[in-house]
Structure 1
């Protein structure tokens, strides 16, 4: 539209200039000029008509675009209104969330305080539990030792040789048959008595032996040391030897009977008899606990027995 007006403004001076000199100098009409001007005017009108059509098409296109733009604008306005509504709802929700967050913070702070109190109570309870466990352990040890005393204070045994056999002075005499054994201290395979508890013990032995060229010395050994001994007394081809001793033993310490070597360094072999002619057993060893020792331990409340 603006383009057509602009062209018209340009052509008007020419049109006016073309229309005015349409006569000759003598005043007669100049037909050739008139025809030329008419042709030019027709061309100008055609151009204006084409420009007008083009402007109308552009106007319709612009109107259509404007309508579309208006529709898009309405949609955008609706969307904007919806967004504003959503924003308002979001702001409301945000305020509610802030309030809930503040409430949660207050509750968390209260929970922290309660947790601190709980931790303090737990530490106190833990200390009380440790104290109770210590007391329980102490009482358990007391009970264990009291039970141990009741079970082990009656340590006693008596065993005999069931079959005659030869034994050298390098080995313990083995009494292979048990008459009585409380405390399970005597081993009928090795001939060793092992003290089950600390205490003072008494041992008595009797051995029936066959006649030897040299009467053997018989010893009661404690961990390799002699704590009692006796010499054989003979009647015809048979002899008997006995010995008695009392000694303090530590727990697990061993006691056994052994013949001594001749002159201290010559091994001998002795026949140990199992019974008399009437069938009674004559080779015995007997032992029992006289007293179990105990002490007051500085780290233990009550009696703690030496074991």
Structure 2
């Protein structure tokens, strides 16, 4: 039996309760395949609210190239559109949304992430530190307004490893949030 999920195939059908867009994410670090469930398959009506706020509970050290940053502690998830296991937001209704990424480096390290919509770049956040900073924590924030269609996915990931010491601060110092501005 293979313990490596790099070539795993998962077949889901109507009998499995799949009713719409699902977030599926293979975490290569812990070899788990995360599949969203809950209200992701149910399209919200135009007058319902959507908002979420999640943060990192622990720092991420040795951030790998294109590694997803999964903000694991959820404070708010109105509309259940954010998945804390995959780190993906799935639009439950067509509309204009705004996303905020607040990113802090681990002191003496640097980190650069991109924000993606369906795999395409929509934003970037960088917190550059250096060994000479002597414990200085650098925090950067970006606001990203974007039009989404029902089922579109938005997530944060490392762009690629610029330096061998890219690390993201945890303990509520890095967060991902967003909300629906208007639906159509």
TM-score for the superposition, normalised by structure 1: 0.41
Aligned equivalents of 2:73 and 2:64: distance in 1? 20
Structure 1 counterpart of 2:174: 283
Q: Which aligned segments of 4 or more residues in structure 1 are displaced greater than 4 angstroms?
A: none
Structure 1 counterpart of 2:134: 236
Matched, 1:219 2:114: yes
Q: How many Å apart are 1:224 and its aligned residue? A: 1.2
Cα deviations by residue, 1:137-190 (Å, 9 ceiling, x for unpaired):
xxxxxxxx9x8233xx31000011112223323221000011111110111111
Structure 2 counterpart of 1:36: none
Q: How many Å apart are 1:230 and its aligned residue? A: 2.4
Higher helix share: 1
The structure with higher relative contact order (CA 8 Å, sep 6+) is: 2
Matched, 1:195 2:79: no
Task: After TM superposition, list the pairs within 5 Å mapping 1:4-153 onto structure 2.
Answer: 148-150=45-47, 153=48
Q: Secondary structure at the match of 1:148?
A: coil
Aligned equivalents of 1:271 and 1:289: distance in 2? 30
Segments of 5+ residues of structure 1 without an aligned counterpart are 1-144, 276-280, 294-307
Q: How many Å apart are 1:220 and its aligned residue? A: 1.1
The structure with the larger Rg is 1
Structure 2 counterpart of 1:250: 149
Structure 2 counterpart of 1:83: none
Matched, 1:180 2:67: no
Structure 2 counterpart of 1:140: none
- The answer (yes or no) to whether the contact 1:218–1:241 under 8 Å persists in 2 is no
Q: How many Å apart are 1:262 and its aligned residue? A: 4.4
Q: Secondary structure at the match of 1:291?
A: strand
Segments of 5+ residues of structure 2 without an aligned counterpart are 1-42
Aligned residue-pair number = 136
Cα deviations by residue, 1:105-151 (Å, 9 ceiling, x for unpaired):
xxxxxxxxxxxxxxxxxxxxxxxxxxxxxxxxxxxxxxxx9x8233x
C-alpha RMSD of the superposition: 2.2
Structure 1 counterpart of 2:56: 161
Q: How many Å apart are 1:287 and its aligned residue? A: 0.1
TM-score for the superposition, normalised by structure 2: 0.66
Q: Secondary structure at the match of 1:271?
A: coil
- The answer (yes or no) to whether the contact 2:111–2:168 under 8 Å persists in 1 is no
Q: How many Å apart are 1:242 and its aligned residue? A: 1.9
Q: Secondary structure at the match of 2:45?
A: helix
Q: Secondary structure at the match of 2:167?
A: strand
Cα deviations by residue, 1:16-47 (Å, 9 ceiling, x for unpaired):
xxxxxxxxxxxxxxxxxxxxxxxxxxxxxxxx
Judged with a 3 Å threshold, the aligned counterparts in structure 2 of structure 1 residues 161 and 284 are, in CA distance, closer, same or farther, namely: same
Higher strand share: 2
- The answer (yes or no) to whether the contact 1:156–1:289 under 8 Å persists in 2 is yes
